[in-house]
């Protein structure tokens, strides 16, 4: 089955700095890669996603890049703010079925 690895497990940055989280996947047939933000005790919220026919997507301060050949994708958050502090999960979908990464706890220090 699919295996998704996510790094780093924890990330601490100063407010205003950029944060980058990386994921690799094993199944080349996976074709949809969302990123979720989850605050403590709450549901995951989709923040950005990318499909396998696209290399990069940006939405304001958030961007995702996908390298299909290397089977990895990354989340980039620029100009981080304290409210960006949360756990971020990547996921890889194949035929509608998802595999999640282990999560990255991002802390943005004011």
Partner 1 sequence: GAVVSQHPSWVICKSGTSVKIECRSLDFQATTMFWYRQFPKQSLMLMATSNEGSKATYEQGVEKDKFLINHASLTLSTLTVTSAHPEDSSFYICSAVRSRGDEQYFGPGTRLTVT
Cα separation, 92 vs 25, in Å, equals: 7
User: According to the binding rule CB under 8 A, does residue 29 interact with partner 1?
Assistant: no
Cα separation, 89 vs 32, in Å, equals: 14
User: According to the binding rule CB under 8 A, does residue 24 interact with partner 1?
Assistant: no
User: According to the binding rule CB under 8 A, does residue 89 interact with partner 1?
Assistant: yes
Between 8 and 16, whose beta carbon lies closer to partner 1? 8
Q: Give the interface segment with partner 1, choosing from 22-30, 59-67, 70-78, 99-107 (CB under 8 A).
A: 99-107
Q: Give the interface segment with partner 1, choosing from 16-24, 41-49, 55-63, 65-73 (CB under 8 A).
A: 41-49
**In Å, what is the CA distance from 100 to each residue of 19, 20, 22, 51, 90?**
20, 17, 13, 16, 6
């Amino acid at each position: 089955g699919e295996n998704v690895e996510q790094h780093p497990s924890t990330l601490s940055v100063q407010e205003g700095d950029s944060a980058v989280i990386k994921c690799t996947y094993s199944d080349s047939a996976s074709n949809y890669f969302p990123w979720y933000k989850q605050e403590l005790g709450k549901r995951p919220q989709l923040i950005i996603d990318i499909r396998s026919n696209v290399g990069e997507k940006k939405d304001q301060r958030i961007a995702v890049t996908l390298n299909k050949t290397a089977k990895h994708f990354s989340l980039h958050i620029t100009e981080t703010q304290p409210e960006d502090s949360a756990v971020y999960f990547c996921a890889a979908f194949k035929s509608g079925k998802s595999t999640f990464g282990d999560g990255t706890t991002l802390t943005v220090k004011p």
